[in-house]
A and B are shown apart, each in its own frame.
Chain A
Amino acid sequence: MIKIFSGFFAGIVLVIVIAFKFAGGFMFSEYASPFGVEETAARVQANIQALEKRGWKLSALRNPARAAQVSGINVLPVLLVEACSTDYSAPLLKEMETRILSILMPCTISVYKKDDGKTYIGTMNSGLMGKLFGSKVASIMTEVAKDQQQFIVMDPSKPAPPLIRKRPGGGSGGAGTPESGC
């Protein structure tokens, strides 16, 4: 009897450990890019701008590596491309139960270099995230996920677009300016 119980509990612990270890892998996705950090970020920006018809606008380009440098610390290059679409954000912001999902806005695409010298694109697994919050949120987030897949398409036949460093709407916080999407 003890053996059965201890086996059962060991099984539960194992499942929890496995779930804990791989949860990160489910929530986030990483893709290799054939281009450098700046060019990859610029191409992501261009892809986002190409989806303007679905409400997408760039809200900011952040450089957390620079902040680390000012603090005296070296980190490999990383750029955060932030974008938002009111087509998707507005319905979520209207409902009191889903307003908390504003924590996920704006949508962030991360572009970074790793120790192998290659550039990677990191995205949140919006589709899966949405499924955790009921069908309405799920349907919105599925659309976001679809668009997101287009953000990260790297088409070498297109020339390298310039990186947009300035906030499209001006201003300092990336907040409040209507031009910046959200």
Chain B
Amino acid sequence: MNTTRFSIRYLLLIAAVLMLSLSSYAAEQKESVATIKMTQAAKQASKSTADHTKFTELQKDFESGPEVTAACLECHTEAAKQVHSTKHWTWEFLNPATKQRLGKRNVINNFCTSVKSNQAFCSACHVGYGWKDDTFDFAKEENVDCLVCHDTTGKYKKIPGLSGHPNYKPMEWPPKSGKIREPVDLKKVAQNVGKTSRDSCGSCHFYGGGGNAVKHGDLDSSLKQPLRYLDVHMEAKGLNFSCGKCHLSDSHEVTGSRYAPTAADDKGALLRGKEDGRNPTTCVACHGNEPHKEYAKLNDHIDKVACQTCHIPEFARGNIPTKMTWDWSTAGRLDENGKRLKIRNSGGMVAYDSKKGDFTYESSVIPEYVWFNGNVRYTLFGDKVDGSEIVKINQFMGGPDDPNSRIWPVKVFRGKQPWDVGNQTLAVFHTAGEDDNAYWKKYDWEKAMKVGMAAAGMEYSGKMDFVETEMSWPITHMVAPKADALSCAQCHNENGRLRNVQGIYLPGANNTPVMDKIGLGIALLALLGVLAHGGIRILTSRKGAK
């Protein structure tokens, strides 16, 4: 009896001990597998030789962006000076060919039109902190915003109206949405800095013009994780290029400029390491001048046609419609209660906004095609406008007889915007702000014009009107897989894609109508002649037989 009891107890005990040890072993196993996986993931995420989470300079609770920058500069002593010389900082570009002073700071576009008098709002996309008016110190190193480009967490967001700062206190955003945006964890963002990415570049460049896909047409948030059809280079599961793969950067200077683009590159593939000052952000810089191996005839096109023309069959293909027109002249219409109106179109996009006027959108847009040699001429503030014709905000120069010109796909953005009739210039007007002069506050053009024109250095004449404008955007992103390039007949056709391009002979487009008529006429006469001759022969031979 005793022995049996004892043995059962003993057995139970052994079993319990065994089970416990087994389960703890299993748990241990799981944990170690998880740790291995995590370290692997971390290794994949960053190949950097520096782990910023270990830096003592970054072990503090930062109060503001400039504080973070100060910490960055302790090691990266030259970084801010480098940034200071870039367009991303100065928002200014002197076109060496035309001597026009361009850059966001100077140009007027036909979207939100002008930065002047609206800096606090626009500078949400400036790589700096504190640009709210002309008093901004462009020489101060701590004013540089490192995080907006180097954040890898996706949590760092600058908010329009805060002069380039993120919010440091909880605030409602978007206004009147009832949503509270918590302040950004600057310590976490600072400890997780890294290379730029589609996400970080895209945080501004995808949203240009006031919203996703609005401005460029070939840049929008669908490029964050694109499928193969959308962009063969950036395909998330494929080549997965970051922006910097093509926009090779050195000393914070990013190559590839829309103000002075390389429209024709006949220099062949760029040898790695070779520095000859040429733009590395062209198709040719990687693919060379004879990229078509299977069908060499295609290489014969490169003296007239930009790669983009065939290989980007449409833009805004990411199912996010891009804005195509903007009519400011209808702005200011309010509902019966005097409240701001927002009317949506069939696709759910805002088609009318009291603040901004009427919009139209389109996705998978067939580009317009123009000759382009890389020279862009702008209509700047003060350039003469008389309202009698459509104002070309920018004009792509070039033509069929210019060896540096190629046929390019462009997005032409059409609008109607204010101009100062007395001063005969496109207007700068004050849109955003908390003051009563801001158009978006009181819908009063006169006040907005007065303040805006003054900020641009001109006294408002007292008479304004709206003028039709056009602005062209070169299309160069969203490169489709090669099977989706335009087929021959899409251009080589009477009603083909290039039907409006002048000065080029396009086989198959039936472009020698006079010669065709003469040739065909003579051939028909010959045919009639032989038929008549033959007919007479038949008749006379029958007679002869009789």
Contact = CB atoms under 8 A, between A and B. Distances in A.
In the complex they form, whether A and B have CB atoms below 8 Å apart is answered with yes
Interface of A: 36, 38-39, 41-43, 65-66, 68-74, 76-77, 113, 115-117, 159-163
Interface centre among A39, A71, A74 (most CB of B within 10 A): A74
Size bracket, chain B contacts:
20 to 34
B366 A117 contact: yes
A34 to B, nearest CB: 13
A42 B346 contact: yes
Contact of B495 (A42, A113, A116): A116
B344 interface: yes
A143 B56 CA distance: 80
B314 interface: yes
Given A39-B347, A74-B317, A161-B346, 19 more contacts: A36-B346, A38-B347, A42-B346, A69-B227, A71-B229, A72-B227, A73-B229, A73-B483, A74-B313, A74-B314, A76-B314, A77-B363, A113-B364, A113-B366, A115-B366, A115-B497, A117-B365, A159-B343, A162-B344
B490 interface: yes
Interface string B478-502: 0011011000001000011100000
Nearest to A43: B346
A118 to B, nearest CB: 10
Nearest to B499: A116
Contacts of B481: 72-74
Given A68-B229, A115-B497, A74 B484 contact: yes
Interface string B211-250: 0000000000000000111100000000000000000000
A42 B351 CA distance: 15
A53 to B, nearest CB: 24
B348 to A, nearest CB: 7
Nearest to B480: A74
B345 A39 contact: yes
Nearest to A40: B346
Nearest to B235: A72
B327 to A, nearest CB: 16
Contacts of A162: 344, 346, 348
Given A74-B317, A160-B346, A162-B346, A115 B490 contact: yes
A151 B202 CA distance: 41
Contacts of B229: 68-74
14 contacts: A38-B345, A38-B347, A41-B346, A65-B364, A68-B229, A70-B229, A71-B229, A72-B228, A72-B481, A73-B229, A74-B317, A74-B484, A159-B343, A160-B351
B230 A163 contact: no
Nearest to B230: A69
B362 interface: yes
Interface in B334-387: 343-348, 351, 362-366
A67 to B, nearest CB: 11
Contacts of A113: 364, 366
B69 to A, nearest CB: 41
A11 B175 CA distance: 75
A39 B317 contact: no
Contacts of B497: 115
B319 interface: yes
A39 B348 CA distance: 10
Given A113-B364, A115-B366, A115-B497, A70 B346 contact: no
8 cross-chain pairs, A with B, having the tightest CB-CB distances, nearest first: A42-B346, A72-B228, A74-B484, A39-B346, A38-B347, A117-B366, A38-B346, A163-B346
Nearest to A70: B227
Nearest to A118: B366
Nearest to A163: B346
Interface in B82-123: none
A160 B230 CA distance: 29
A162 B228 CA distance: 30
A69 B366 CA distance: 17
Interface string B306-336: 0000000110010100000000000000000
Nearest to A35: B346
B347 A163 contact: yes
B343 to A, nearest CB: 8
Nearest to A68: B229
A111 to B, nearest CB: 11
A77 B345 contact: no
Contacts of B228: 72
Contacts of B319: 66, 69
Contacts of A71: 229
A114 B13 CA distance: 79
A77 B364 contact: yes
A73 B348 CA distance: 26
A160 B364 contact: no
Interface centre among A42, A66, A117 (most CB of B within 10 A): A117
A76 B364 contact: yes
A162 B497 CA distance: 31
B480 to A, nearest CB: 5
B149 to A, nearest CB: 30
Nearest to B312: A74
A131 to B, nearest CB: 34
Interface centre among B230, B317, B346, B497 (most CB of A within 10 A): B346
Contacts of B344: 162
A73 B495 contact: no
Contacts of B366: 113, 115-117
B490 A73 contact: no
A36 B230 contact: no
Nearest to A164: B346
Interface centre among A65, A66, A113, A115 (most CB of B within 10 A): A115
B314 to A, nearest CB: 7
B80 to A, nearest CB: 43
A4 B273 CA distance: 78
A26 B229 CA distance: 34
Contacts of B230: 69
B505 to A, nearest CB: 21
Contacts of A74: 229, 313-314, 317, 480-481, 484
Nearest to B496: A115
A77 B495 CA distance: 20
Interface centre among B317, B344, B364, B365 (most CB of A within 10 A): B364
